[in-house]
Chains A and B, each alone.
Chain A
Amino acid sequence: MKRLIAAVVLVLSVISFGAVRVGITQIVDHPALNAVFDGIVKALEDSGFKVGQDVIIDRQNAQGSMQNAVTIAKKFATEKVDFVVAIATPSAQACVQAISDRPVIFSAVTDPVGAGLIKQLGKNDSNVVGVSDMVPVATQLRLIKKIFPNAKKVGVIYNPGEANSVTLTNIAKSAAPSLEMTVVDIPGTSPSEMITALNSIGPNVDVLYIGTDNTAASSIEAIGSAALRLKKPIVAADIDIARGGGVVGFGFNYFQVGVETGQLLVALLKGAKASDLESHVVGPDSLVLYINLDIAKQLNVEIPSDLLERANIVVKDGKEVSK
């Protein structure tokens, strides 16, 4: 009841003071990043804010250009935007550099410390707070070990031009030795380069791993069929990538990243300070296990029964079943 009253008071106060303006900037038009935006809107609406009425969103997209990202950040800095949300690393870096007098929320940044956005995860004494889309790489490698006990070489498909992918690959490299595995680079700066690298390096590895790489995500159908020809299973850190041709996926979907980002925004809208809130990685509750039994069958992969029981999404006979 107390909560309800508080919410009513809040909504009334918001209405009486006029709408709050939120600037949302993202680096490029991309399904995962668009899902983050949708998640933010969902979180706002779940908390009782009417988008377009209580909260006016100014959505901007840098079309992949860093100069545009800076232009947008400066636009938010000079215009009357009360809160800024920046999706993906370059947009976030531009906003953090340009805006220091009001809260900036970053989202879908794998390594916010390495990107120079915040001092450390958790609370920071600054105007910046946000959600990292870091995935549990070491756990994913242990998952690979569990399903493929004989796997020695893990081929990591990634774009060396993407900061997030390079971070994940470095973590994989430092975690692999303790599992008696080695990481083999399968790099490509474009989808076609990736397929070429996969065809030439792929035969030498036991299993393929794909992190949250945008280039791999955009060409996952082609990568999936190339891997199938090579008879190599793909384990993905992103459920959408797993859907495109993976045997196993263990990660979260980007909508959830958006929802958690939106919850930070809601807290700020309700009067919290950015320095009161914690920057965090997407919570373990959002991690989803995906298993594709059809591809497993094609590749003669045995999925341990305890894993199969735990799976949230199972694909069998062409049908996807969610638990």
Chain B
Amino acid sequence: MIPIIEQGLLLSLAAMGVYISFRLVDLPDLTPDGSYVLGGAVAVVLLHSGHGWVFSTFIAVLAAGAAGAVVAFITTRFRINSLLASIMVMTGLYSLSIRVMNAPNLPVPKFDTGKIMSYEQIVGKTPLDDILGGSPSASFEASGLRAVKIPFTNLGDGHDLVIICAIVFLSIVVVSLFLRTEFGTMLRGYGRNRFAVKVLGVNPDLFAYVGLIMCNIFAGFSGALFSMYSGFADVNMGIGTVVVCLAAVILGEIVFGSHEPMYGVIFPIVGALLYQFLLTFAMKYGYRIGFKPSDMKLLTALFVVAVIAVRRFKKSEVTI
């Protein structure tokens, strides 16, 4: 039970980002698939170089935010659809994250590890040595990893849950306070009608920047925390983040049934929690009634479409 809530809340941060881009500023953004990974990669690399988890997460969040700025730049400067621009940035981030980690997968080690060696150094001999002549010549040796301190204990005793709850609560407060400011109001106005805000004498491109940066800041934040929570960053861990978050956002909207942007930031949080429960439920019982693991993605897609369809019939309003 506790782990489900923990994971749901970690996911909810990314869902909040997706909510901001898809709903508030109406600039669909697929970058989170990449910035989620970038956040994790930067955080774990900085942990390895001896920085504390708060600083590492902070820099990771900035890096992910920068990715959002790049999307905004491409969208506003070259007038490319944000969806397309974000696909480019997301693709590029895959390579960048490998660069950052200098490997596709980097663990957050709990203890100091020894030397990494080749098969021949470990085993000493192979069955072909007599034919091939000479002795194995693998001189590969890489130094292991140093233990790193993380904020999560993974004991499931509520310690991690308190930390995560505090982080999510703070994020909700910060975002809702921001949306209440004059600038926040204009940002929401930009999402409703892009051209109307021009009348106010503010460059509308600014809102695109703020919206997309915020979206990716939360995706990177979520990725960084998830990496520390799960014990590793992997370049493939971001796949499907946007779809899952979108499912969470829509689930949240069903629960609240309204579109009130003032309280909207709560939608994705509740949605992400619900999504995590549904996923765990499906994993636990789905296999027993004949689902194959490979069916889960189809189920997610069908679920999102079905939910949107139901909303359409009920309210006859276009939501997405």
Contacts and interface: CB of A to CB of B under 8 A. Distances in A.
Contacts of A29: 292-294
Contact of B144 (A72, A90, A113, A289): A113
A120 B121 CA distance: 13
B105 A171 contact: no
Contacts of A170: 140, 142
A119 B105 contact: no
A142 interface: yes
A306 B283 CA distance: 52
Contact of A284 (B107, B109, B125, B144): B125
Given A120-B114, A178-B137, A310-B131, A67 B226 contact: yes
A40 interface: no
Question: Among the interface residues A72, A116, A250, which one has the most CB atoms of the partner chain B within 10 A?
Answer: A116
The size class of the interface chain B forms with chain A is: 35 or more
B123 interface: yes
A134 B118 contact: yes
B235 A161 contact: yes
Contacts, number: 216
B237 A136 contact: no
A68 B283 contact: yes
B156 A77 contact: yes
Contacts of A62: 293
Contact of A78 (B3, B117, B230): B3
Interface string A15-38: 000000000000001000000000
Given A61-B293, A119-B114, A97 B104 contact: no
Contacts of A100: 154
A64 interface: yes
Given A116-B113, A287-B127, A63 B104 contact: no
B236 A161 contact: yes
A175 B140 contact: yes
A221 B3 CA distance: 42
A315 interface: no
A138 interface: yes
Given A67-B237, A310-B131, A89 B105 contact: yes
Nearest to B102: A166
A11 B70 CA distance: 63
A135 interface: yes
Contacts of B140: 138, 170-171, 174-175
A280 B123 CA distance: 9
Question: Among the interface residues B123, B154, B232, which one has the most CB atoms of the partner chain A within 10 A?
Answer: B232
A174 B105 CA distance: 20
Contact of B229 (A70, A119, A145): A70
A72 B276 CA distance: 12
B119 A136 contact: yes
A119 B112 contact: yes
A60 B114 contact: no
A126 B109 CA distance: 14
Interface in B13-56: none
A142 B240 contact: no
B174 interface: no
Contacts of B145: 114, 116
A145 B103 CA distance: 28
Contact of B126 (A77, A94, A284): A284
Given A121-B122, A170-B142, A116 B11 contact: no
B91 to A, nearest CB: 10
A90 B111 CA distance: 18
A115 B232 contact: yes
B118 A175 contact: yes
Interface string A160-173: 11110011001100
A175 B138 contact: yes
B120 A143 contact: no
A179 B137 contact: yes
Contacts of A47: none
B136 interface: yes
Contacts of B129: 139
Given A137-B118, A138-B138, A75 B280 contact: yes
Contact of B231 (A97, A285, A289): A97
A171 B276 contact: no
A199 interface: no
B293 A63 contact: yes
30 contacts: A60-B283, A60-B287, A67-B226, A67-B237, A69-B230, A70-B230, A71-B276, A74-B3, A74-B156, A75-B284, A78-B1, A78-B2, A89-B234, A97-B231, A115-B232, A117-B107, A138-B120, A138-B140, A139-B119, A139-B120, A142-B136, A145-B132, A163-B103, A171-B118, A175-B118, A179-B137, A287-B126, A287-B128, A304-B131, A307-B131
Given A161-B235, A304-B131, 11 more contacts: A63-B297, A64-B236, A65-B239, A69-B230, A74-B7, A77-B156, A93-B230, A117-B107, A139-B119, A163-B105, A284-B125
The 3 tightest CB contacts between A and B, nearest first, are A116-B107, A97-B231, A138-B138
